[in-house]
Amino acid sequence: MRKLSLFIATSLDGYIAKPNDDLSFLKLVEKEGEDYGYAEFTSSIDTIILGRKTYDYVVREIGSSHYDNGERNVYVITRTEKPPVGKTTFYTGNLTELIQKLKATNGKNIYCDGGAEIINELLIHDLIDEFIISVIPILVGNGTRLFKDGRPEQLLELLSIKKFNTGLTQLHFRRKK
């Protein structure tokens, strides 16, 4: 069955962004030629799930071609109906149903690209199978937390850890059945 994976960076104190969507702390670990396994990871997926705010942010900062490259199915979770753009669907239905339907069809893996609202919604319904979490060596002190309060307990299995000389640590877990 297809897996739903998270591939995300967080500060040591657990924030994925500082207030006002400030991601500047990610620059601390930017290094030419080092993608921390992102290209390898994305070659294993053919479907992206993300929240509408994250989609708007990326389209504004990078452009819609980041998602709509003709190769991958993209599902933007939103409350506002909108016609599809290429292979990008704006999905207003039930999130659990969408994930169950996607997992039951053939294909490569599914990547949840954030944001925190969608990630926590998926965690509440125990739908994330794999976690690749990159820890940036900083305490940012405030912002958007990767993990919100009020989720069910979930046991994980540690698969691997990687240390990069930029100070980034990558932890790879999968959900215990």
Query: By the criterion CB under 8 A, which residues form the site for its own copies?
Result: 12-14, 25, 28, 123, 131, 133, 135, 137-142, 145-147, 149-158, 160-161, 163, 167-169, 171, 173
Smallest gap from Cβ 37 to its own copies, in A, equals: 16
Cβ distance to its own copies smaller for residue 55 or 131: 131
Cβ distance to its own copies smaller for residue 8 or 85: 8
User: Which run of H or of E encompasses 89?
Assistant: strand 88-91
Angstrom distance (rounded) from CA 93 to CA 65: 24
Angstrom distance (rounded) from CA 85 to CA 88: 5
Cβ distance to its own copies smaller for residue 70 or 150: 150
Smallest gap from Cβ 146 to its own copies, in A, equals: 8
Smallest gap from Cβ 40 to its own copies, in A, equals: 20
Strand partners, 115: none
Cβ distance to its own copies smaller for residue 43 or 165: 165
Smallest gap from Cβ 99 to its own copies, in A, equals: 18
Three-state DSSP class for residue 75 = strand
Cβ distance to its own copies smaller for residue 98 or 171: 171
Structural Rg of the chain based on CA atoms? 16
Yes or no: say if 53 and 114 are a contact pair by the CB < 8 Å rule. no
From the list 42, 34, 92, 104, the residue with the least C-alpha distance to 67 is 42
Smallest gap from Cβ 16 to its own copies, in A, equals: 12
Strand partners, 122: none
